[in-house]
Amino acid sequence: MKFYLTKAAQRQAESGEPRSQDGARARASTASAALDESSRRARSRRSVGQAPAPTATAASAPAAPPPPISRSKPAKGVIAIGGVPRVDLLPPEVRAERHAAVNVRRAWTGVVGLVVIVGVAGATAAIYASAATATLASSQKETSSLIMQSAGFSEVNTVQNETDLVGAAVRVGGSTDIDWPSYLAKVKATVPNGMELATVTIDSATPVVAYAQATTPLEGQRVATLTFSSTSSSLPDVPTWLTSLRTLPGYTDASAGTVALSAGVYTSNVVVHVDSEAFSKAYSKEGK
């Protein structure tokens, strides 16, 4: 059996709040529809030869209760026909005020978070600063202790400084030293046979005065000048001697002087210039 509800009955069933007059009208309409359907089916059965079904008058037939109506929420995307109408009468100013309140709460939350971060950073920096201060105080204390301990060795430090000063003076004073005995022995070995070394004149640099250099363009730098005088009974072989002098340490250049004959004896002069390679370096650190 099917029941057809009017729109008023459907709205009444969905709202769940029946009204006195509307409810009575809805029930009467439902009962009338049920009786008409029952009479129609009885007439159809008699027309096909079936046994007649007992009929009931409108007064004696009880009103059939309407079937339960589900109040489940409509699915999304489906328009509910006959639903409860809703109207949002909230002013826009109230929504704007609520939205502003939400923004204010978010802003205050950000401010509180920033304050927390700054506080944590400040606390961390304070901890590191305290540790650095403690380390500095410990280092200063250790330095003061070392200074106090070194004060007991002040005399030793004085002697050490004086020793260093004397050593520096020795190195400066011996910077132009040439081992002349050994050097003259090498010069004597270069004298040719038949000639004898008679006199030697030495002019060398000093630690405090620079040695005068030659003005002749072809002469090299020198730190000392040696002038030799030799004698021989025959004509001296000066060119051979000049060639042998090139083997001397620090040799720069050499030149022959005059050759004189007196009482059967030949006297010849030779001038030799030497550079810094002739220094002995006995008093420098490199020479030790």
Q: What is the pLDDT of residue 73?
A: 58
Per-10-residue mean pLDDT of the chain, 288 residues long, equals: 48 51 54 62 54 43 53 57 70 87 92 94 93 92 88 81 84 83 90 88 84 78 89 88 90 88 89 88 66
Q: What is the pLDDT of residue 113?
A: 93
Q: What is the pLDDT of residue 29?
A: 56
Q: Which amino acid is at 279?
A: F
Q: Hey, where are the domains in the chain?
A: 1-86, 88-151, 176-211+219-287
Q: Which amino acid is at 105?
A: R
Phi first, then psi: give them for residue 200, nearest 5 degrees: -135, 130
The class of domain 176-211+219-287 in CATH terms is alpha beta
Q: What is the pLDDT of residue 57?
A: 42
State the pTM of this model. Answer: 0.44
Q: Answer yes or no: are the C-beta atoms of 184 and 228 closer than 8 Å.
A: no
